[in-house]
Structure 1
Amino acid sequence: MSRRRFLALSAGGVAAGAAALNGCALQVSSGVSGPGEIVTLMVKPEDISPELIQQAQQDIGVRIVTVKHDITKLIAMLTSGNPPDLVRGVGAVDAPYFVARDVAENLDPYFAGSRVLRADDLDPVNDLWRYDGRIQGKGPRYGMVKDFSQDSMYWYNTGHFDEAGVDYPSESEPVTYEDWLDRAKRLTQRKNGQTIVFGGSYNGLYEATNLSTLTAAAGGSLFSDDLSRIDFTTPEARKALGWYVDYCRTRVGPSVIQPDPNAWDGPTYQAGRMAMTNSGYWLGGMINADQKLAKVSRLAPAPVFAGGVRVSPCQGGTGFWMPKKARNKDAAWRVFEWFFGEAPAKDRAGGGWGIPSLKSLRPLMPAQHDYQRRVLKAQEAELEHFSVISFTPYITADGFKALFNQVAPAAMKGEISLDTLARRLNSTINEQLERGKEQVG
């Protein structure tokens, strides 16, 4: 892999990559065979606990060593030919990026020979980790999802609705995005110029995936067929962008012009300061910890645009992928099987922090209480509306966010028109996409 080819990072990524290449690569997997093998994982602390690492040694006889997930360190390790054996990644945005740079191992042969991770047991969400060089969701598998949510679904607190005299959204039929925003306006509470209760949060996991989803719901595509260009001036993308700008402009929820002091929805919703949050099923792990909150919380389907189509994707799909130059692939695959299909996967399924990525584990999802069964019913009905929305391999989600947040606030504050914003976003983001395509090609 050439260094030039890999350094197609976000805006400013070339400088970051160059800095990384001056660093020292870490020594990874020993490559020894048999009991006592060492597998190096590049992960975040919350991905695998010290207790799980000990359990791996007991369960499968493999010693796991972790390296803190860091993109510049990863580039240094990949370009030096000494990468980790497994790397944390977010399927929705990372799969095309790493596959296009020819650094990810095709895992199809491993899946074909596995008795733990069978193809017919894989939830369709795992297609986020498939990429055929043109379309996400097709082609070889390069990774797997640990658990997931359909991130355009949203939770709502019935207590806030009762207080404001607002009708509850249906838990089975989607409301329109316009209706959702109208409710959010009526649910917002302000005092002395300060927002004390957000009517609703609708940021998605990433600006890029949120806007791609909104555009798909309007009946279009944010990116060109070859994923190399973006166009916010199409009727569908303009509609999606206009709705999101209106959401930000009316300040009913957190945004770049009205940040949430907690930095994410969980603590704010838990504290009773947010009436709706599009955090998907996974937030139930936090909600269930407070039975009082759980009893007044409902999960509703992803909204639709009038005249649009019903889509309900996963904007995350966090899991692992294996670098092509990993030193200890067979042992890494054994860790992969264990993590995604054995004891850790079963424990995660029972926690309510996400839908299991194996269909056979769904019966383990929390259903002890009436409120949990209610949520589960809404979630199970939504699964049939899942689809993969392709993301471009030519920019990172963080790179997109940086560029979007440079340009969009002016429109959110009413300083420029929506059409001006659309043209500026096209110019700014397409320039970066062009660089990315050159570096990959």
Structure 2
Amino acid sequence: MNQSTKAYRSAIVHSLGDPAKVGLENSVEYFEDGLLVVENGLVKAVGHAQELLPTLAENVTVTEYQRSLIVPGFIDTHIHFPQTGMIASYGEQLLDWLNNYTFPAEGKFEDRQHAKDVAERFLTELLRNGTTTALVFGTVHKESVDAFFEVAEGYNLRMIAGKVLMDRNAPDYLLDTPESGYQDSKELIERWHGKGRLHYAVTPRFAPTSTDEQLAIAGQLLHEYPDLYMHTHLSENQKEVEWVLELFPDRSSYLDVYQHFNLLTERSVFAHGIHLCDEECQQLADKGSAIAFCPTSNLFLGSGLFNLPKMEQHGVNVGLGTDVGAGTSFSILHTLNEAYKVMQLQGEKLHPFKSLYLATLGGAEALRLDDKIGSFANGKEADFVVLDYQATPLLDYRMQQVKSLDENLFVLATLGDDRTIFETYAAGRCVYQRG
């Protein structure tokens, strides 16, 4: 590969660590007039423009952005690509919502061309919102995940996805078997896991839709391929929790079902985790598993309020999830807006530096990818987003009143959305430009 160096000049900020662990003052690095130097798709340097500009070779192109902010690419730790077409479906809580809207929509994904068309639309929407990495649910159909990976590979995105395992308590047209689920998953793993920037996640939908035999096979796959991810749902809705305990009377808790089948690993990500006891939180922390905090879907389905301070207290890794299609926006900025309100309803605050962490480095740590993405440390992949302070008249006017970095980030998270994303870069290549 020919050596290719480019530089980007703007205000730049990135997260250095979890404010709950390192303190607010040590959690971010900010350059009011910064320079991000990218070489062959990797971060070569970040710092003050006046210090780095003299070090560049004469032939290096410098792209300058006015009244903008460069941040690492956003990371979505829980989202369903087959639900793109049924986002904003009215009037149900979780279990009825699945039966009335989700399952019929997912039934169409047996058609590979349909899956590919939706994958293209889905990934375009992610990039339009500044999201460069996501942990993604497919459907029960092998074709849906095959199509997703094919499209993601074309963009050279770091993406994680998996075929849903579901052999009971769903419509017949969406059921597999323990044997077919194992074989289909194995074929997809061999074809896509570790190819380019792609990873595979073993994906039981949630405990109620898998038999003991299928959950055991999920654990077997994780044993056979130790660097796989495991992605499922946990304690989202009170009725769901009660149903799990009825279906698995020998298990002490919802999480204990997954633990029993060896599904708690340091690459396991559980969406929601709203109704967890202290013992379950500690168990997650001990195993190094993560929770995806999905505020817009939790509010939309009336599921409850996620207790982030409780997770911090126990040391549980937490990332941010849009959870489209129960989530109501692809935008991580919009999702942070709702996360702030979820905390307010519990008498807590979500500091803007914590928001930045959750959206970037925290997501990378939850996915065990912080050696590759999530910040601008030297050698990391150059996934980044250019945020436009003048994206809307109101944002432009409000940003003129800003007096500090934390206020700047809070305004962006509160007023920002897809219009705020000016450009999105993946591995140093522009993959979206507004307009």
Q: TM-score, normalised by structure 2?
A: 0.26
